[in-house]
Structure 1
Amino acid sequence: MNKITKNLIILIGIISILASIYGLLNDRKLIEVIGGIAIGLSIIGSVFLRQNKNRS
């Protein structure tokens, strides 16, 4: 995975987390935004797991 693709995927994950936090601050229930946070963390985590797998 090249650097531009990796950075784009991380950016999408961060946007997902920030959008969920924004929804939480605008009177959304936690159960409604937890999915967006989980998806964002999963996307970011997958990039780093793949990076560690390639090093091995």
Structure 2
Amino acid sequence: MKELLALLKEVNHILREERDSTVRATKQMVGKLEGVALRCDANRRRLDMLRERVQSLANR
């Protein structure tokens, strides 16, 4: 019985470590994705401004 309890504790420890590393990786990935999203928004605004300039030059 003690061996089984020790084995369960070891398994729980391993699972906790895996969960913690997964949470860290997930937080890092979310941070990277948020950065990409911000850059995409900024690029979209730049493209919109360029499109407006091209259209205004074409209408002259």
Interval of TM-score (by shorter of Structure 1 and Structure 2) = 0.3 to 0.5
TM-score, normalization by structure 2: 0.43
The higher radius of gyration belongs to 2
Structure with the higher helix share, 1 or 2? 2
Higher relative CO (Cα under 8 Å, sequence separation at least 6) belongs to: 1
TM-score, normalization by structure 1: 0.46
